[in-house]
Structure 1
Amino acid sequence: MFRYAEVLVDVANRRLDQSYHYAIPEHFALIIGMRVLVFLQNRKVQGLVVNVTNDLPDELASVKLKPVLEIVDEESLVPTELIELAHWLAKTTICSVAQCLHTVWPLLKGKVEEWIILQVSIKDPDVQTLQWLDTDAYRAISVLNRARSKSISLKIFLKRANISVEMLEKLIQQGLAKKETRFVSTGEGSKRKASCNEGPLEINGSNSPSGRTYELTVEQASAVSKVSAALEGGSSQTVLLHGVTGSGKTDVYRELITKVLVEGGDAILLVPEISLTSQVARYFETQFGGKVIILHSGLQPREKMKAWEDILSGQKRIVIGARSAVFAPLPNLRLIILDEEHDGAYKQDENPKYHARDVARKRMEQRKGVVLLGSATPSLEAYAAAQSGKIHLLTMTARIGMSVLPPVEIVDMREELLNGNRSMFSLLLQQKLRERLERGEQTMLFLNRRGYSTFVVCRECGYVMGCPNCDIALTYHSQGQAMCCHYCNHKELPPHTCPQCGSRYIRFFGQGTQRVEEELQGLLPEVPILRLDFDTTRSGEAHRTILESFRRQKASILVGTQMMAKGLDFPNVTLVGVIAADQMLNMPDFRARERTFQLLTQVAGRAGRSIKAGEVVIQTYSPTEGAILRAAHHDFQGFFWEEIRYRKVRRYPPFTHIIRVLLLHEKEDRVIRGANDLGACLQQGMQNPKFGNNELDILGPAPAVLPRLKNQWRWQVSVKGTNLDQLRAFLHRGVQMFYKNSASSGVVLNIEVDPLSS
């Protein structure tokens, strides 16, 4: 029996975020992965046993250790690989290990509470034996007697019984009640031990994927064959599947998952949005039935606990869900698929700020399995890794069946203005809308609304005000009435005339889907229109209801944001219109061109997905912009090499890494002072020879894109460099210096590695 336990305490305070050694009582049989209660600075906290040993570090040899107080749950063990994953996550995201543990193993969630337990057997609290008690004591015993299992949390007990702490101590001394420390889990449920799954899966009565009701194309079959070879290779691999919209990537996923299950393995399929999980799951349930389970952050704690228990027991072997499903504890996990891998939704906004792609690769490194990244518009990072040979690249260049990629027409909105058309709809788009209505076909109109960003554009020549230092669009701030760069804090006054052509038609640019819907209804008053955006999908079933109504052709036009650019397939949609490509292109973000190309390509891919031919109209004030032209020609290769050269010159990812520190405080002057002080600490760190010669750049301090949110002022400081480990070390040193200064008092730091947005 081991004598000592190394316990990782469950506290979010980074100062205490480490493991501590405790003595193991003789009657405890502790093993790695158990949850325990321990004392930390005179308070009881939950901890996780990460090691058991008979030997102590030298510095603890003469120290009297506190004992482990209690085993919380002997059956619910955290797998060792997920403990390792939490440590890796903490290191790579610069977050506390405790927060990472809660992310990878949500069954840990709960709190330590004091409970009061009735010690005497009482059938009826009105019996004569209790008449000697005074009124307060009698009321307290009655409350305990009515409680389930004759026990109740101390906090609730004192409130219901309405007695003093002194009276409670008197009851305990007289042996009528006792106090006990308990760990109360969030969403309590039945406990099951992890077990192996049922082995190879029979599909349609045989051990072969003959349940397929479709024929694979040559490109699909080739992709399946090559990923299958990677699965059989016995080493961790990442494969990028670059397939144009409508090329049948989902059928490839289903074929590969079938193969994995037949051979006794498990699989995870990730989609970027919670709203997509149900429709994707229905597609897989037709073949795999009850083996499929949906996981996402929208589940209630009890639902999630039940789901994880079904996964651990081997009842569920295919997990479909949004990014948090990447942590699903499948016993024989062999394949993780990220559909639409380029999507920013795979990056977590809250601590730990992980990217599902990175977690998937780490998990398959542990399991010697395969990560499959699928997209029609891969992220530059993933495609660059494929071009350099770090990951494998597979391509599918043709749509399945009779459909073909739709032709795209670009409309110069400057010309529309010169011709007297002040509507947000070009004459060409209006004409094509009416043609679809006459033929009984449907249209999707796309607008990427981000109301917090407003840039300045000349409606005559297309000039956009940009930062001279960062080549990023400047953002207008009503407070101070200035144009500001959110990278280096360069500021300018908004111009009255265009600096390039002298036109007075230079305006703040920004419009939303609601305005598009209203103007469209005025243009076509008798036409039924649906809108799909954040405002119309707040309720749980609204997203599905809107799409189902459009699928049943109850509306002729669907107006929406990027929600409708993902995974939607409507056979009767033959026209897609992009209202304002500039609204994506001129966001204050170095990834704006990449996002513009991706969104235009993805939304264009919604048209002509059946035997009916499709068309796309893109409206813009920048008709010669490379991202728009490449998207119009469905030319990913051309866009990639153009953009990668731009990134290299500007030293943006994937050639460098960026770590952003967001500072938050309720008072503006405090957060500005804190940001300037952190910037000074980082500048001082540049004098250190260890960091001074490593091409490190400090960006800012500057106000965040959202300078105020939820009653907190926000500023940011970023550091940029080629060596990520050194960058983390440099920032860590600067943050430590910052916390020693008075300017840090009350300022919250939010750190993110390689942020996907400004």
Structure 2
Amino acid sequence: EAPDFLDIEVGSRVLVPLGENNRPKLAYVLKIVDKIPENLSKDQIKSVISVVEKNLFSKEIAKLLYFVSESFLISIHSLINKVYRTYAEGELIPIVSVVDTESFADFKNSLKSEDQKNIANIIFENFPISLYSLRNKSKTKIEYLKRFLREIEIKKLINIQYKPPYPSNKLLSINNEKLFEEMIHKKGIAKSIKEVLIRIKKNRALPYRDAIYKIRNGLEIIEMLLKEGVIKEIEEEIPELAVKDENKRLIVNGGSLKERVLYISNIFKSALKEKGTVLVVANEIALIKTLSELYESFFPGIVFGNIGKEKSEIRRQLKLGKRIIISTPFSLFVDIPNLQFIIVEDASSKYHLPHEYLPFDTRIVAYKKSEYENVSLIFSTYSLDDVIYYFQKEKGFELSNIKDLKNQNKRIIDMRREPKSDALSPISSYLESKIRKALDSNKNVAIVLNRKPYSTFIVCGECGYVHRCPVCGSPLYFDKEVNLLICSICGHTEQPIEKCPRCGSLSILYLGYGIQKLSNSLKNVFSNTNLVIIEGGSETIYDSKNFEKTIFLGTEAIFSHLNFKNVGLLAFVSADTFLNGSEIYTTFEAFKYLRQGAFEIYPNDIFVETYEKENYIIENFKKDNEFNFLMVELSFRKELGYPPFVFLYEFKLSTKNIQPIFMNDLSDAKIYGPVEKFSEGSKVYELSIRTQTYPQDLYKLFTDAFRKKIIGARVFPAPSIVNVNPKD
């Protein structure tokens, strides 16, 4: 319930008394209604104590948060905290005030404990005072202090209110230039104070978090500067949505990244002339960096690439004149003034699907945002997948194939017939000769091998024993860089072995090829050639124009960390590692990487080594028949009951004893598991459910006992979920 004296709006953070003791807890205002819902009684309604922050998000973003929470089974509270990185209850600062000075004076004089009398005196002389200032002044342990304050609060002698350490939706700017200059040049002013002032001045307007980063007593400095009028707070307001013309729905397919950026830039440049803004959503830090450079070359001075900064930084940069924002999928929950276009780049990438760090499907959330805010939406991609195809077929998206690969020479090397190189296994003799020829011509070469370890498994040559993880039973691999055997499932590590634990033989074979082993072989065979290793986790981007006669060797990360402009040959080694992954989108991913490599290297040759030359992924890539690949893949998925024809739910559970799951029978549900797994060193149980039942309806069917066992969920939705809207 919202008291009349409080100015409460959708998007505010408020304090509400919850739990048995009605302790203040943070809550978010997502909806305001005139009447109490019928399913709630009056005693279930709690009055809002105070407004902590206003204008965190708009009504449209609130609606989007509801949609994502219901569609991907994420608690809305954790989703908001993940998006906005807002405070937890423990970060709120309790402020102590005296209710009645006479009564409090009598109380403190009656105290017998010297510690309590000291605390009461400090409160009386300094109120309102924060809990932490009170602790510092009284030199009392925090738990003792809290206990004593609770006793006084019950007597109604003091009032405790809570405020955030600083508002997340306000910026700091210089208020008085004269005072600023005096403080900067005055002797005796602390270096930390000058540092804060210089930061604010340099950026014109700065969030609290950035102003006090690594500054000792930073908040106290800000409070002092505000009190003296040197700086001021600027309220960030939620922008009003502009009325727009009919929006565009477009899929830009094919071509290199640079070609697609140029094509898309020509589409939205007229919107920029009219003071419109553009949001480009990318899925990797390296890609955000590359896109920032590309868009900056077309639109100098108005591009901001947001890497690892607060969401408030986006709105600050917009105030500074930036008009093209390039950021992660979480930026979809930011209110952007006069937003005209959303572009999802590399839209068929697996990193736009739900995974450990992203709890939703970027494409689906981008579509709903464009729908709620009447914004044009463009999917930019190397290839189509089931979700993008759905938008073309069912939602009227125009498909623009800006380039094809029909004239490119795609060499498919059948490893069942081609002899392997004596010195470069698993590379064939034929590919070795092509690499040598390219290097002799001073060209650069890129080799993709989607395995990192030196050896992928360890086996005894005498008895056939395979060395496995003692915790979960998975084969261990050998990482030469750290000289350890490692389990890819649970993270167990141990020292390398020299003799067989079963038969005692010394014939231990470290088999399988990864980048670590292949890099050694390449150094030996091409000793006069530069070798650059590219792996995931790095933010370095290599421009091939700055290299000559160099071999770039990498996992799939090579595609986001290498500019292929001056690469004369690209080869996929052991391409079957792409074809035979365990994830449900492995096939789309494999086809996408083949096309991505081909477009980026075009018109130079691309080589693919495989033991499955007849695989439909390889065949359709060779023929440049993307539509046929899509139809074959969708027919398999329909027959097997996979997305996009059903919803796939993956649950992490605390126990394997899960029955009963449903309150009522769900006849179409196919249930797999639970299977014992290891997550961050702990044992969990994974359960998969495939059904046509929508997420919010499925969750209602679960028994209370089953819900309590869920510790994590991942939803791969049927794209038809975009037709569902949160209920009022």
Common fold by TM > 0.5: yes
Note the 1:22-33 alignment, pairs <5 A: 22-24=1-3, 26-33=4-11
Tell me if 1:543 matches 2:540: yes
Q: CA deviation at 1:290?
A: 4.2
Partner of 1:269: 280
Cα 1:273/1:39, change in 2 over 3 Å: same
Over the residues paired in the alignment, what is the CA RMSD in angstroms?
4.4
Partner of 1:36: 14
Cα 1:65/1:480, change in 2 over 3 Å: closer
The residue type equivalent to 1:307 in the other structure is I
Query: 1: CA distance between counterparts of 2:687 and 2:154?
Result: 58
2:453/2:514 contact within 8 Å kept: yes
Return 5+ residue gaps in structure 1 as ranges.
Answer: 1-21, 120-132, 200-230, 457-475, 484-506, 666-670
Q: CA deviation at 1:30?
A: 2.8
Query: 1: CA distance between counterparts of 2:114 and 2:280?
Result: 61
Query: 2: CA distance between counterparts of 1:35 and 1:418?
Result: 64
| Percent identity over paired residues | 18
Partner of 1:461: none
SS in 2 for 1:415: coil
1:455/1:586 contact within 8 Å kept: no
The residue type equivalent to 1:407 in the other structure is N
Query: 1: CA distance between counterparts of 2:329 and 2:48?
Result: 35
SS in 1 for 2:344: strand
Q: CA deviation at 1:317?
A: 2.7
1:116/1:154 contact within 8 Å kept: no
CA displacement 1:611-661 (0-9 Å, x = unmatched): xx5122211122222212222333322322232232232232222221222
Equivalent of 2:303 in 285, 292, 295: 292
The residue type equivalent to 1:102 in the other structure is N
The residue type equivalent to 2:447 in the other structure is L
Tell me if 1:434 matches 2:461: no
Partner of 2:165: 184
CA displacement 1:569-603 (0-9 Å, x = unmatched): 33320101111111111112343332222112212
Equivalent of 2:29 in 49, 55, 77: 49
2:253/2:382 contact within 8 Å kept: yes
Note the 1:241-252 alignment, pairs <5 A: 241-245=252-256, 248-252=259-263
Partner of 1:599: 593
Q: CA deviation at 1:151?
A: 3.9
Query: 1: CA distance between counterparts of 2:395 and 2:159?
Result: 65
SS in 2 for 1:624: coil
Higher relative contact order (CA 8 A, sep 6+): 2
Cα 1:412/1:153, change in 2 over 3 Å: same
Tell me if 1:621 matches 2:611: yes
Partner of 2:351: 345
1:703/1:715 contact within 8 Å kept: yes
Tell me if 1:719 matches 2:713: no
SS in 2 for 1:531: strand
1:447/1:580 contact within 8 Å kept: yes
Q: CA deviation at 1:520?
A: 1.2
Q: Return the TM-score normalized by structure 1.
A: 0.69
Tell me if 1:700 matches 2:672: yes
Query: 1: CA distance between counterparts of 2:531 and 2:124?
Result: 61
Q: CA deviation at 1:193?
A: 2.8
Query: 1: CA distance between counterparts of 2:241 and 2:46?
Result: 43
2:311/2:334 contact within 8 Å kept: no
1:532/1:558 contact within 8 Å kept: yes
Tell me if 1:644 matches 2:614: no
2:70/2:696 contact within 8 Å kept: no
Cα 1:359/1:328, change in 2 over 3 Å: same
Query: 1: CA distance between counterparts of 2:511 and 2:699?
Result: 36
Tell me if 1:657 matches 2:647: yes
Query: 1: CA distance between counterparts of 2:127 and 2:558?
Result: 49
Q: CA deviation at 1:530?
A: 0.7
Cα 1:136/1:118, change in 2 over 3 Å: farther
Cα 1:134/1:233, change in 2 over 3 Å: closer
Partner of 1:748: 711
The residue type equivalent to 1:269 in the other structure is V
Cα 1:440/1:146, change in 2 over 3 Å: farther
Query: 2: CA distance between counterparts of 1:64 and 1:409?
Result: 69
Query: 1: CA distance between counterparts of 2:378 and 2:526?
Result: 45
Note the 1:19-418 alignment, pairs <5 A: 22-24=1-3, 26-41=4-19, 42-52=22-32, 55-57=35-37, 63=43, 66-74=46-54, 76-106=55-85, 111=90, 113-115=92-94, 151=130, 153=132, 157=136, 161-162=140-141, 164-165=144-145, 179-184=160-165, 189=208, 190-194=233-237, 234=246, 238-245=249-256, 248-296=259-307, 298-299=308-309, 303-311=310-318, 313=319, 315-350=321-356, 353-387=359-393, 390-398=396-404, 406-416=408-418
Query: 2: CA distance between counterparts of 1:147 and 1:279?
Result: 54
Query: 2: CA distance between counterparts of 1:719 and 1:368?
Result: 35
* Count of residues paired in the alignment: 601
Q: CA deviation at 1:276?
A: 1.7
Query: 1: CA distance between counterparts of 2:84 and 2:434?
Result: 52
Of 99-108 and 40-49, more deviation after overlay is shown by 99-108
Cα 1:658/1:140, change in 2 over 3 Å: same
Q: CA deviation at 1:161?
A: 4.2
Cα 1:351/1:521, change in 2 over 3 Å: closer
Cα 1:306/1:580, change in 2 over 3 Å: same
2:25/2:89 contact within 8 Å kept: no
CA displacement 1:93-149 (0-9 Å, x = unmatched): 112121233345445767563535699xxxxxxxxxxxxx99868997999999999
Cα 1:584/1:451, change in 2 over 3 Å: farther
Q: CA deviation at 1:295?
A: 2.5
Query: 1: CA distance between counterparts of 2:65 and 2:545?
Result: 43
Partner of 1:19: none
Of 512-521 and 567-576, more deviation after overlay is shown by 567-576
Query: 2: CA distance between counterparts of 1:429 and 1:174?
Result: 84
Partner of 2:726: none
Tell me if 1:730 matches 2:720: no
Q: Return the TM-score normalized by structure 2.
A: 0.71
1:574/1:614 contact within 8 Å kept: yes
Cα 1:50/1:271, change in 2 over 3 Å: closer
Cα 1:749/1:36, change in 2 over 3 Å: closer
The residue type equivalent to 2:639 in the other structure is V
2:414/2:612 contact within 8 Å kept: yes
Query: 2: CA distance between counterparts of 1:167 and 1:38?
Result: 23
SS in 1 for 2:540: helix
Q: CA deviation at 1:508?
A: 11
The residue type equivalent to 2:15 in the other structure is L
1:244/1:396 contact within 8 Å kept: yes
Query: 1: CA distance between counterparts of 2:126 and 2:570?
Result: 62
1:37/1:70 contact within 8 Å kept: yes
2:452/2:516 contact within 8 Å kept: no
1:453/1:587 contact within 8 Å kept: no
SS in 1 for 2:577: helix
The residue type equivalent to 2:698 in the other structure is F
Of 636-645 and 76-85, more deviation after overlay is shown by 636-645
Cα 1:365/1:419, change in 2 over 3 Å: closer
Query: 1: CA distance between counterparts of 2:378 and 2:156?
Result: 63
